[in-house]
Structure 1
């Protein structure tokens, strides 16, 4: 028999033994005094509190997994404080990476405590750019556009495009393909195929190294094949949910196989820039520019500038307007210096 100590209240004495405790009463006592289940907690700007498990924070939104509502996405601007019980991986705007549990401190800061070393670091909440970012993130798009005209003039054109991207914590990979074709009154007026591949590796954010390759076939530029290969370094000036800007510099091997002219190979510098702006969830703008001046004659250069505006139609579909400018300061005899191509295509993102 299990006996609890006697308790004295004034002049009354009583004794409680296990024989008088029903199993259901014992179960109730265990439930009432059990430790509460630990969970992450968010304090919103409007004063609301949410509990669950912080899964990730990327693209300006935080994902909280809850038992009562599944995964909930919350705008980062709506979150005032965050507390996590389990360690999370966070990225800062200066490229640093930390792992630990998060607790708020006065003044809007966050304390990151490592579970392995027990050491803590205090960071400004506004400097956190990602929480538990995906180890690997594939994305891409397929686009197609065209036109047809008949009557006094028979005109046909088609544009096909494909792009895939992969992002990890330290690396970025991109592969692109673009084909344009048009004819007028049964005569081909344009036919070109462009492909590119680029690999970035962040040595320490925002600094990264890259290797880039481009190929172009265009019979109306007397190009059986143009090949551009080379490494370089890049610097990400900023990269957030609203916009990003990368600047790059490197050297390349430049080769041109002509159908009629003399084949050429030389070395060039490569100066590049890429800017992206998300005006809203439905409207995005992007521009890429590369300049290739020859090492032995900087007055001889090639320039390629591609800009596009994409507006979402919903369910992954979008309309994409692209403007491409290609300039050759010293083209082959009979070839114009500047080519401008504008296309409107239906785009599907995956």
Structure 2
């Protein structure tokens, strides 16, 4: 009996010790939540608790104070990046002391635990859609995915979407788009960017377009309601076409990009961006890429997404269309 009691006490003290190391969250209404802080991004804090089977999501503007002894990467509205070991909010004036700097809690836009394992720094989504119609035996498959990795001062990301459409007595319609990007973050919310973009579509007779870009960007707005960023730079464009006499075109371009990310919309979020490419080597040629994605979050990390992509070329090859666009409806899951 004494042995059982001793084992129980040791187990209880162990659980109590583990529990005491959990993060503590206090809301503006005085409610206290104890658990494991998983991430705060885009105005939403995610915390894992022992009394709920699913993670809790709390709006950051509803948080009055937060304390932890773990290591975190913290980013503020002015682009400063802090790697801290433990922090505690002063509830009276709403500030966190980060490596000696007093930062208002409302000026924090990103918080994530810093761990040594590779998986904790990853983010990913995968989505698909399928349409089938008896008329003309029409079938359409849409695939959409992203994969990203964030370190203390840089990020790497990839995106991919593809559409295949088949119909009786009609040639297959295809469109494939991919992107690999590398961002290195500087002070004052500035960043360097390198991107490699791939596009193939049958509407513009484009077998392959590979665009490599190097530029400088900045955040005009970086808050818990929205991001607004712009970038300028140069690009080198390699194109290969189908059914043309001149089956390839290589050109130098400048580019100007603008992207907005709205996420203070409850379970909705919207990302939209436009990039203009005036050619430096082909007279009067201008290309434009536009995208918009509207995502609605579902339980269990599922989501529904509506997307639209548009490409324009003022000087397409002979017999090809000036533009190409596609609407996408997908259901997916995110890490």
TM interval, shorter chain, is 0.7 to 0.9
Query: Is 1:198 aligned to residue 181 of structure 2?
Result: yes
Residue 186 of structure 2 aligns to a residue whose secondary structure is: strand
2:101 corresponding residue in structure 1 = 121
In the alignment, structure 1 residue 58 sits paired with structure 2 residue 63: no
**Residues 34-77 of structure 1: per-residue CA shift (max 9 Å, x gap):** xxx89976654334567x68856612355678899999765433
What does 1:68-147 correspond to in 2, within 5 Å?
75-82=59-66, 90-98=74-82, 99=84, 101-102=87-88, 104=90, 107-112=93-98, 114=99, 120-131=100-111, 133-134=113-114, 137-147=121-131
Query: Which residues of 2 match residues 15-34 of structure 1 at below 5 A?
Result: none
> Taking structure 1 as reference, are residues 108 and 296 closer, same or farther at Cα in structure 2, changes over 3 Å only?
same
> Are the equivalent residues in 2 in contact too, given 1:252–1:267 (CA < 8 A)?
yes
2-structure distance, mates of 1:187, 1:215: 25
1:163 aligns with 2:146: yes
Q: Is the 8 A contact 2:160 2:179 kept in 1?
A: yes
Q: Structure 2 unaligned segments of length 5 or more: list them.
A: 1-19
Q: Superposition pairs for residues 1-350 of structure 1, below 5 Å?
A: 44-47=27-30, 55=37, 58-59=40-41, 60-61=43-44, 75-82=59-66, 90-98=74-82, 99=84, 101-102=87-88, 104=90, 107-112=93-98, 114=99, 120-131=100-111, 133-134=113-114, 137-151=121-135, 153-259=136-242, 260-262=244-246, 263-297=248-282, 299-350=284-335
Assess, with a 3 A threshold, how the Cα gap between structure 1 residues 94 and 266 changes in structure 2: closer, same or farther: same
Q: Is the 8 A contact 1:105 1:111 kept in 2?
A: no
1:188–1:62 distance in 2 versus 1, CA, 3 Å: closer
Displacement of 1:340 in angstroms is 2.2
Question: Separation in 1 of the partners of 2:251 and 2:266?
Answer: 44
Find the structure with the greater CA-based Rg: 1
Q: What is the CA distance between 1:228 and its match in structure 2?
A: 0.6
CA distance in 2, matches of 1:139, 1:232: 24
Question: How far off is 1:332 after superposition?
Answer: 1.2
CA pair 108-343 structure 1, distance change in 2 beyond 3 A: closer
* Higher relative contact order, structure no. (Cα contacts within 8 Å, ≥ 6 residues apart): 2
Count of matched residue positions in the alignment of Structure 1 and Structure 2? 306
How far is the alpha carbon of 1:201 from its aligned partner?
Answer: 0.9
- Structure 1, gaps ≥5 residues long: 1-36, 115-119
Deviations 1:2-21 (A, max 9, x none): xxxxxxxxxxxxxxxxxxxx
User: TM-score scaled to structure 1, two decimals?
Assistant: 0.74
**Structure 2 CA distance for aligned equivalents of residues 197 and 295 of structure 1:** 23
Structure 1 distance, partners of 2:299, 2:70, is: 36
